[in-house]
Structure 1
């Protein structure tokens, strides 16, 4: 059992992604040279041989940093990370997705930045794909996410929800939880994730609290590969349209975030928007079918999918409105 305090505790949540973690850890140990690290893996009841594959690939004599913990149930992203943060011994803590890869010594750079700049609460980096291309949809402002939640013309939304602006081009409102480093002391001041969130949105809400402790930075000249989807590969092939573009669990979490951060009025306004849209999108498609001479109720797949999503959100309506303490899992 190592006695020296590591500079960075790396926390990875696993749910049936052993090979992704093996590749991830290869990249960590290959590129991280400037700081000492420990690796904490928290398993969300994968029910497979993830542990034996991961720990078998890294004999203890070679990689003694790897520590494995079982949650005993599928706790989601926030609860599992909270558990991992409680086990962490490092001065700084990195939340790192299993479906990510390092391309250089980004961990040392971020750790040293936190050590040297006391006014920075947390730091992240730019996401790229395997080909080195920056992910086109990188939300770093709360207003960007609020605009995404509405199905309205973009020019309207830009006026209603303008972006925040900072003198430092690296400063942001929030950092994606796939690569987010902060201090142990900052976690102690803010608390961990809100454990009502099952998955998605919890990093946005946490960053709102982290941002009260200092600046939030995303290094525009720092990069990590984010393969995305991990164990949720169904989203990679899901057909997306302007109307039917929400991932149900993600949007339910976004609704909880809006309610907590912006209040009941903002939440009610968004839900009224969805309820109003249901008859509008049906009527719009039916009128098109009428003009084109098609059966009135044909080709309504997107409309039905949107109505079904609104129905799922409605199951959590009162719990969200009254900010109840329950697990918001679809």
Structure 2
């Protein structure tokens, strides 16, 4: 059986969020829609994984598959880990720290079905208080990093739609956040899926850039709404902030070339040289930047294989 949609999500030491997310999907999705749910446990602690497994084993939903990776493969790697079990026309990559507010899957399916030029779509996010959250962004580029998002929106709002605006109709954007991405399976396969060199951050930027080169563009579809408990499964730390910069510079070099990479790298080196005067914790990040922010410094290289 080929399903309409495959929902793919990752669990990493946050089984309660995963359980609530799965419940919200089942509760809010139309019975007319056929869909499967594929969960990758990204090498969580034993207790967390077993809590999620118990829930899945007792859930009355036959089209659910729980997988466990013996190593934390990151965001792109975790999603790709579940890909061999996808058997659907569309794929929804959804963060586990989300709750659907309405029938997002049907809304996004119908939108892409009626608009072949849409390559990937995102829903409108709200925080747990029901407040608007930014649900679009501009491609990572030397221009964005140095001049800033607000400047780009002021000088060319058509190319750079305003991020802090609540839209009422589907709107073409540069890219949509990785917390909720809805894509045709054929388009996703054609561009090679997620770049698993990246451990965390900018995976959606990279994917949307590659889709745009195929004239498959990103859209925000505000009629589809969800709640996002932002950062619930990735607590902030200097190591996470460093990972953010490693991924950024990798993307800049991949899509804009070596000179652009050097420009942004040196810009960041100067910025964080000053930041360390006031925040000594940034010495770690600055040291990585001085070394060129190589992928070999990524958290990805520090993962260990665990056997349950």
Could you say which TM-score interval applies, normalised by the shorter chain?
0.7 to 0.9
1:311 equivalent to 2:292? Answer no
Aligned to 1:269: 263
- Cα RMSD of the aligned pairs, angstroms, is 2.9
From the CA coordinates, give the structure whose radius of gyration is larger.
1
CA contact (8 A) 2:272 2:282 kept: yes
1:172-321 matches, within 5 Å, as 172-213=173-214, 214-234=216-236, 247-278=241-272, 280=274, 300-302=277-279, 304-317=280-293, 319=294
SS at match of 1:95: strand
Aligned to 2:298: 328
CA contact (8 A) 1:196 1:327 kept: no
State the distance in 2 between where 1:39 and 1:279 align: 46
| Distance change (3 Å), C-alpha of 1:280 and 1:95 | closer
State the distance in 2 between where 1:258 and 1:121 align: 22
Structure 1 residue 148, shift from structure 2 partner: 6.2
Q: Please give the per-residue CA displacement for 1:96-151, whole angstroms capped at 9, x wherever unaligned.
A: 1010000110111111222222221111111111121112x4442116x756644x
SS at match of 1:306: helix
Q: Which of 53, 59, 63 is residue 51 of structure 2 equivalent to? A: 53
Q: Which of 88, 93, 111 is residue 86 of structure 2 equivalent to? A: 88
Please report the TM-score for the alignment, with normalisation by the length of structure 1.
Answer: 0.78
Aligned to 2:164: none
SS at match of 2:88: coil
| Count of residues in correspondence between the two structures | 290
| Distance change (3 Å), C-alpha of 1:50 and 1:118 | same
> What are structure 1's unaligned runs of at least 5 residues?
239-245, 283-299, 321-325
Range with bigger deviation, 74-83 or 246-255: 246-255
State the distance in 1 between where 2:119 and 2:83 align: 16
Q: Please give the per-residue CA displacement for 1:15-38, whole angstroms capped at 9, x wherever unaligned.
A: 111110110011000000141110
Aligned to 1:10: 7
Structure 1 residue 259, shift from structure 2 partner: 1.2
Aligned to 1:290: none
CA contact (8 A) 1:146 1:161 kept: no
1:141 equivalent to 2:138? Answer yes
Q: Please give the per-residue CA displacement for 1:163-202, whole angstroms capped at 9, x wherever unaligned.
A: 7257x86101111111101111111211111111001111
CA contact (8 A) 1:75 1:198 kept: yes
State the distance in 2 between where 1:11 and 1:24 align: 11
State the distance in 2 between where 1:97 and 1:253 align: 19
Aligned to 2:165: none
Aligned to 2:39: 41
CA contact (8 A) 2:121 2:219 kept: yes
Higher relative contact order (CA 8 A, sep 6+): 2
Aligned to 2:305: none
Aligned to 1:29: 26
Please report the TM-score for the alignment, with normalisation by the length of structure 2.
Answer: 0.83
Structure 1 residue 315, shift from structure 2 partner: 3.5
